[in-house]
Amino acid sequence: MLKKIILDEFPIMDDRGVIFYSYGYQKFSDYIFAFPYYFPTALAKNIELPRLFYKKIENERRKKFFYLRSHGIISGLKTAETLGYNIVLDERYGIPTTKLNKKNITKIFNPFGDKGIMLALRKKISDFFKIPFSNIGVTRSYLIGLNAPSSNVDITIKGMNNFKKIINNFPDFLKENGFKNISRERIKRHVGLLPKKINGLKSRIKNKFWPSFVYGKKNIDFHFVKSEKEAVFSMILKQIGKGKIIAKIVDSEESFFAPYKFLIKIISPKKYSRRKAFLIMYSRFFSGIFKNNEKISFIGRLREIKIGKRKYLETNFESGQSIKSV
């Protein structure tokens, strides 16, 4: 299956040793869309390292592995661009990303392929939540072997039903095992990485819920992906409008899965009123920050996309703007 479908945040290494994370769900073809994250130190001269905490981690990584990680999508893309990588607009979602040629890919890491990483914790999660062990993986730095002493562990859960088990029963999981909930601490630390243009959303993000806890001396984060059968492969058909959009949140569940989208019903502009659309947020920072039936207003672009044989509307908020409750 790995050669047919690549799920969200599968790490990919190319022939220069740069490691990317796939974005969204893709069928394996001549090109893969991915964000650059880890650069060999010899190539990483332009990486910006914000905040003291991240400088500590990257100094640890540099000394041990001779690698540095970009702590922001734009920073990684800028570094990749200086190295001659092909930076394009992802034709599925309309965002800047790297377009990798299959010929230059040397390895695709499978988060569900290595059964030995954090084995005891994964078995504990499997037993408590009644999730098949094969649907519990490890991704990011621990998977690719570039974890610094201060790195957190990213546990990947596959399947929407398994996601619901984690979200609905997480407090009981913490209580039964005596684990400390560090959701607020993790979110607060990451908010500092977000651009100033979304200052209006930062207070919401600081107060949102994300399943994070301490296991031993390690901080554990959950990351959710759809299964191969649930994965959606969308492509923009055409842009059909731009301006102020007022909408009501219909379903926030999809905001926990790349491309991190809310199902909305458009109220204005009137031409598209009552039509449903996907509000694309691009980052799991935004997962769950809007509640069902909440009305929001923002400046954005409307596009038409096709999923399977059906057409849908898609939108995202305009650069430099923010989203407000109505």
Half-sphere exposure (Cβ direction) of 171: Cα atoms closer than 13 Å = 2
Task: Name the pLDDT band for 115 (thresholds 50, 70, 90).
Answer: confident
Place of tokens 């299959």: 102
235-325 is classed in which CATH architecture?
A: Beta Barrel (2.40)
- 240 and 278 Cβ atoms separated by less than 8 Å: no
pTM of this prediction exceeds 0.75: yes
Extents of the domains making up the chain: 5-108, 119-225, 235-325
Tens digits of residue pLDDT in 42-88: 888 766 665 555 778 888 888 899 998 887 787 889 889 999 999 99
What average pLDDT does range 115-131 have in this prediction?
Answer: 94
Is it the case that residue 1 has pLDDT exceeding 50? no
What DSSP letter does each residue of 216-240 carry, written as one string?
TTEEEEEEEE--TTT----EEEEEE
- CA pair distance 208, 260, nearest whole angstrom: 15
Instruction: Check pLDDT > 50 for residue 141.
Output: yes
Give percent of the chain above pLDDT 90: 51
The span from the CA of 248 to the CA of 235, in Å, is 24
User: Given 2.20.28, 3.30.70, 3.30.310, 3.30.460, which CATH number is that of 119-225?
Assistant: 3.30.460
To the nearest 10 degrees (0 to 180), the angle between helices 199-206 and 183-191 is: 170
Q: What is the pLDDT of residues 254-301, one digit of tens each?
A: 999 988 899 999 999 999 998 999 998 877 778 888 999 999 999 888
